[in-house]
Structure 1
Amino acid sequence: MAQYTIKELEHLSGIKAHTIRIWEQRYHILNPRRTDTNIRYYDDADLKSLLNISLLNERGYKISKIAQMEPEQIQRTVAELCDSPCACSHHVSALVAAMVDMDEVKFDKQLSTATLQLGLHSAMEEIIYPFLNKIGILWQTNNISPAHEHFVSNLIRQKLIVAIDGQTLRREEQSTTYILYLPEGELHELALLYMNYILRANGQHVVYLGQNLPFPDLELTYEQFKKACICTVMTSTPERDQVQHYLNRLSQRFPHTTIYIYGFQAQHDFLIIPSNVRRLGCLRDLEAELKA
């Protein structure tokens, strides 16, 4: 069972640590425990309880009223709110709770409901990316295992693949060809899949090469299409001290094309971005480039 600090609860729930302490003392809404060295910590049940309380409080329920509700009543009310339109923050919190339990049915229901209500594009921007940012806190503090990461990533990946498969191919005349790939050793595919979806939705021709692509295979593909734009995502690979070398290699090998880079490793301030490389801060930047 995971152990959370009060600061981690603050980040995940949106409730300030000071407020959480007041609620504990006044309404006894949580039951923190102590380690052998007398340090307070919270468990999965506390996290899920606070997520539910946060949802209700955000929608106007007073904490004094919530404290009087039975756990089953709180869960029913939260479920009703999560079924209501445009309850984006509610969907995010519900996804976190389902992930902690590794409950595929609940996770899929929330994801499907959000996608049906908003469409995939808005669901990615308003729910899925905020969710991934939140659970990034859990990954950094080792409160979820790689199994949790694989669990949520594969479910989201399935949704993206279904959405891409359902797109009508409408390649426009004079459309640009985009080669999409992940560097050798890189397996985090969600952003690249969403990039694929965006490009196809905008009538562009996509050659999707996927994960873990050796550099020589990228060269061969480029030779076939010529002048194609190249898009890649660097989440964990190349490593921090190798990113600049990799960017220089891309730029020098494909000097006459535009190369789009995205991902955690592409955001370092110390990087010197070659003239033919475009760094994307978010995928909205790619959409802006397409509409320019």
Structure 2
Amino acid sequence: MSNYSIKDLEHLSGIKAHTIRIWEQRYNFIKPSRSDTNIRSYDDLDLKLILNVSLLKDNGFKISHIADMSSQEIAEEVLALTDKHLRFPEQIHALTLAMIDMDEDRFEKIMSSNILKLGFEKTMLNIVYPFLSKIGVLWQTGSINPAQEHFISNLIRQKLIVAIDGQYSSDPSNARKYLLYLPEGELHELSLLFADYVIRSRHNKSIYLGQSLPLQDLVSVYNLHKPEFILSILTSVPGIDQVQGYVNKLSGLFPESTILLSGYQVIGQDIQAPDNVVIFTRSEQITSFVEEHSTEA
């Protein structure tokens, strides 16, 4: 079971920590554990309750009424709301609950209904990515159980791979060529897989090398294929003190290609991008770049 601070609950639910404390005292429907130094600690059930309360409040329920409802009644109301409304906040909320409960059936229902309405790409950009961003900090700090992280990441990965498989076709002779990889030690692959989908869906050639690729192997593949673009997502490696040097090295090794980079390690880090390096701060920018540089099939 995961362990959350009151700030974690505030981050995930949007309800201020001060308000949560007042609710604890006034309505007594959430009872955190406390450390020897009186620090509050919350479990999965507490998080689910706060998320559900937040959603009900956003849909017009008064907190005094919610406090009188049973856990079953709250859960039923939330389920009805997330099934009825395909607005993005409700769907992000539903994905969070599916992750906490490790409920694959619920995950499949959420994804299927949104893909049917929005299409795969818009579902990823408007629901899955904001969801991943919202819980990403908790993954980094270890607040979320690793099993929950692996569960939801693997389900999303499966959806991405199926979508990518659906894009396979003979590339036109004038297709732009991209080489995709993650640096050695980097295992966070979801954003790279989505970039692969975007590239292939625009009738470009993608050479996908995946996780944890040593630099010398990148050089070998580059020399074989001579791609116009090299794309990587730096989520956890190289370290902050090594990123600028790594970016400079990529620029020097592949001067005839455009290096496309994104991820926590390069966004907002005051990286000085060489002339042949482009840094994306949002996933939509990768899509826009690919579309601008695609050749009509």
Shared fold per TM-score greater than 0.5: yes
Tell me whether 89-98 or 280-289 shows the greater mean CA deviation: 89-98
Q: Partner residue of 2:161?
A: 161
SS of residue matched to 2:182: strand
In structure 1, the partner of 2:240 is 240
Question: Residue 260 of structure 1: SS of its match in structure 2?
Answer: strand
Inter-partner Cα distance in structure 2 for 1:209 and 1:97: 33
DSSP 3-state at the match of 1:123:
helix
Matching of residues 1-292 of structure 1 within 5 Å? 1-167=1-167, 169=169, 171-172=171-172, 174-292=174-292
Secondary structure, counterpart of 2:207 in structure 1: strand
SS of residue in 2 equivalent to 1:144: coil
- TM-score w.r.t. the length of structure 2 is 0.90
Distance 1:157 1:261 in 2: 20
Residue 82 of structure 1 contacts residue 91 of structure 1 at CA under 8 Å; is this kept in 2? yes
Gaps of 5+ in 1: none
Gap runs ≥5 in structure 2: 293-297
Larger mean Cα displacement after TM superposition, 144-153 or 250-259: 144-153
Determine helix, strand or coil for the equivalent of 2:278.
strand
**Equivalent residues of 2:96, 2:131 under 8 A apart:** yes
Distance 2:47 2:185 in 1: 34
* Contact 1:231–1:260 (Cα < 8 Å) also in 2: yes
Cα distance, 1:172 vs structure 2: 4.5
TM-score of the aligned structures, taking structure 1 as reference length? 0.91
Q: Bigger shift: 191-200 or 123-132?
A: 123-132
How far apart are the structure 1 equivalents of 2:250 and 2:39?
A: 49
User: Is the CA contact (8 Å cut-off) linking 1:258 and 1:278 kept in structure 2?
Assistant: yes
**Shift in Å at residue 241 of structure 1?**
2.1
The one-letter amino acid of 2:281's match is G
Superposed displacement of residue 268, structure 1? 4.6
| Cα deviation code 1:171-200 (max 9, x no counterpart) | 455221111111122111101000011111
- Write the letter of the residue equivalent to 1:243: V
* Stretch moving more, 55-64 or 28-37: 28-37
Q: Distance in 2 between matches of 1:227 and 1:282?
A: 23
Instruction: Say whether the 8 Å CA contact 1:186–1:234 is kept in structure 2.
Output: yes
Higher relative contact order (CA 8 A, sep 6+): 2
How far apart, CA to CA, are the structure 1 residues paired with 2:64 and 2:239?
49
Tell me: CA distance 1:25–1:145, structure 2 relative to 1, closer, same or farther (3 Å). closer
Which amino acid letter does the alignment assign opposite residue 178 of structure 2?
Y
